[in-house]
Structure 1
């Protein structure tokens, strides 16, 4: 496969925006459905069901937006640092709505924002590797200024999504769209941070690493 062609800033921002909208449309739609039930139903049981749906969906939408703000957003000015404790909070909130459990074994540090954004994007990739659920462990080696991230996704029949390994190594995916842009964005973050990415499957787990490109 050919190497990944450089995306224009306009195309990249449009695709990332589409990805974020795709992620939050489901809980927002569920809130709308719940409100319609409240407007139309006289049954107390149905109204209570609708309120439960609205509460749950609002929490999901909030968690997804907070995660997206840190993983894809500007997160401060150029050169800004982000508290890894904040990253843990938004990652934990996001994963509460997913099938897998998050095991965060990274100590709290201030870290350059692109490293943190990359780490959150790697969690999204790891989550895709265990579609039936399991456990995602997040670890870090080295100093906050030059870290290595190790993520392991373990579960029932883990897999590397089609084309993911090639994309993370810098090859052009078959299609560049809102679905494929997230691993592309992770690759661009890694390059900007002077890091290289790797993903491999070993029996019952998938291992993702990001290390300084020396």
Structure 2
């Protein structure tokens, strides 16, 4: 009869809650141990692969732990990057780690910050590939302001290596067209409007009055749609 009246069910629920709390306590204890180990290794200037792995395990649990990101870069700079001539594969692995962790929190400032550091530090970064990546990110979430900020960063580098005013102008036009597309998809996408406003003066700089009027007309149509 105890089963009918739910006594066993209550006991089972209580046991499940207790077991869950024990698991959580164990995870917290392990996490804190890893953080302590990380600090100890850096303080001892032990910039080893083991130290790097410890930071990975911490960041897999908490990708917003900026102190650990700082320590990770310190370990990389004074460890593997100092002892190898093949630096690019190291950064490729870092970029792969980003792709793993960004799924946990796509709006993590510290994740995007680490990716910037990788690209600015690694030899021959693929800026065109980065634009493709951020295109996919903004397809999944067109309002991700970290994604838009990163896009401006990537476009800035693409413009810097364009090689000619004509190629740079093409990049600007393509970026303007991209913002138009995103605004047409969602008029209240303020990040897209912000990006568009930064490009507009360049877009119309060499236009005739008639062409400028057409741009204004197209903008009004976007607002009405």
> Could you tell me the TM-score, scaled by structure 2's length?
0.29
Structure with the higher fraction of residues in helix conformation: 2
Q: Which has the larger radius of gyration?
A: 2
Structure with the higher fraction of residues in strand conformation: 1
> Could you tell me the TM-score, scaled by structure 1's length?
0.30
- Which protein has greater RCO, CA pairs closer than 8 Å, 6+ apart? 1
